[in-house]
Structure 1
Amino acid sequence: MFSTTRTRAALTAIAVVAATLLASCETPPPPPPPVVAAPPAPPPITLSSSIIEKASAYRGYMQRAAAIGSTFENGDQIQASLKIGVAYEPKQFLSGATAYAAVLALQDPTYVASVRAFATDPAQRQSVINQIIADPAYAVGFKGSDTAAGRIIDTLGAGGLKLYTSGKAVKQAAYDVQRAKWSLLPVLDRDGRLAYAKTMSSTPGLADSADVAAMQQASMGGVPVVPAPPADPTAASAPVVGLRSAPPPYKPLVIRGLAVAALAALGYAGDDKLPLIEAVMAEPASAMCLNMGKLNLYQCLAVAKPHYEDVFCLGQHVMIDTGMCVLKASGAELPYEPPPPPKPEPVVKKKPVAKKAPTKKKG
Structure 2
Amino acid sequence: MLSTTRTRAALTAIAVVAATLLASCETPPPPPPPLVAAPPAPPPITLSSSIVEKASAFRGYMQRAGAIGATFENPDQIQASLKVGVGYEPKQFLSGATAYAAVLALQDPTYVASVRAFATDPAQRQSIINQLVADPAYAVGFKGSDTAAGRIIDTLGASGLQLYTAGKAVKQAAYDVQRAKWSTLPVLDRDGRLAYAKTMSATPGLADSADVAALQQASMGGVPLVPAPPADPAAAVTVSGPRSAPPPYKPLVIRGLAVAALAALGYAGDDKLPLIEAVMAEPASAMCLNMAKLNLYQCLAVAKPHYEDVFCLGQHIMIDTGMCVLKASGAALPYEPPPPPKPEPVVTKKKPVAKKKASASAKKKS
CA distance in 1 between counterparts of 2:90 and 2:211 reads 21
- Contact 1:83/1:197 (8 A) holds in 2: yes
CA separation of 1:236/1:58 partners in 2, compared to 1, >3 Å: closer, same or farther? closer
CA separation of 1:241/1:95 partners in 2, compared to 1, >3 Å: closer, same or farther? closer
Deviation at 1:25? 3.0
Q: Does 1:356 align with 2:359?
A: yes
- Contact 2:66/2:231 (8 A) holds in 1: no
Q: C-alpha deviations, 1:81-113, integer Å up to 9, x for none?
A: 000000000000000000000111111111111
Q: C-alpha deviations, 1:288-319, integer Å up to 9, x for none?
A: 11011111111111111111111111011110
Deviation at 1:242? 5.9
For 2:271, the equivalent position in structure 1 comes to 272
**1:229 aligned counterpart, secondary structure:** coil
CA distance in 2 between counterparts of 1:358 and 1:243 reads 97
Deviation at 1:26? 3.8
CA separation of 1:231/1:117 partners in 2, compared to 1, >3 Å: closer, same or farther? farther
Deviates more, 1:21-30 or 1:265-274: 21-30
CA separation of 1:362/1:183 partners in 2, compared to 1, >3 Å: closer, same or farther? closer
Deviation at 1:75? 0.6
CA distance in 2 between counterparts of 1:288 and 1:240 reads 28
- Contact 1:151/1:228 (8 A) holds in 2: no
- Contact 1:231/1:244 (8 A) holds in 2: no
CA separation of 1:229/1:262 partners in 2, compared to 1, >3 Å: closer, same or farther? farther
Deviation at 1:114? 1.1
TM-score, normalised on structure 2? 0.88
CA separation of 1:112/1:228 partners in 2, compared to 1, >3 Å: closer, same or farther? farther
**1:299 aligned counterpart, secondary structure:** helix
Deviation at 1:351? 3.0
Deviates more, 1:218-227 or 1:193-202: 218-227
**1:119 aligned counterpart, secondary structure:** coil
Q: C-alpha deviations, 1:158-209, integer Å up to 9, x for none?
A: 1101101111111111111111110111111111111111111111111111
Give the length in aligned residue pairs.
362
- Contact 1:230/1:244 (8 A) holds in 2: no
Deviates more, 1:26-35 or 1:80-89: 26-35
Deviation at 1:30? 2.0
Root mean square deviation of aligned Cα: 4.9
Deviation at 1:78? 0.4
**1:230 aligned counterpart, secondary structure:** coil
Deviation at 1:29? 2.7
For 1:301, the equivalent position in structure 2 comes to 300
CA separation of 1:318/1:231 partners in 2, compared to 1, >3 Å: closer, same or farther? closer
Deviation at 1:352? 6.5
Deviation at 1:277? 0.4
Q: C-alpha deviations, 1:116-170, integer Å up to 9, x for none?
A: 1111111111111111100000101111111111111111011101101111111
**2:88 aligned counterpart, secondary structure:** coil
CA distance in 1 between counterparts of 2:231 and 2:338 reads 32
Give the percent of matched residue pairs that are identical in Structure 1 and Structure 2: 91
CA separation of 1:114/1:359 partners in 2, compared to 1, >3 Å: closer, same or farther? farther
**1:359 aligned counterpart, secondary structure:** helix
**1:360 aligned counterpart, secondary structure:** helix
CA separation of 1:239/1:52 partners in 2, compared to 1, >3 Å: closer, same or farther? closer
Deviates more, 1:278-287 or 1:105-114: 105-114
CA separation of 1:240/1:18 partners in 2, compared to 1, >3 Å: closer, same or farther? farther
CA distance in 2 between counterparts of 1:105 and 1:351 reads 74
Q: Does 1:284 align with 2:287?
A: no
CA separation of 1:187/1:361 partners in 2, compared to 1, >3 Å: closer, same or farther? closer
- Contact 1:231/1:242 (8 A) holds in 2: no
CA distance in 1 between counterparts of 2:236 and 2:63 reads 25
- Contact 1:46/1:264 (8 A) holds in 2: yes
- Contact 1:138/1:259 (8 A) holds in 2: yes
- Contact 2:91/2:286 (8 A) holds in 1: yes
- Contact 2:153/2:331 (8 A) holds in 1: yes
Which sections of structure 1, spanning at least 5 residues, go unmatched?
none
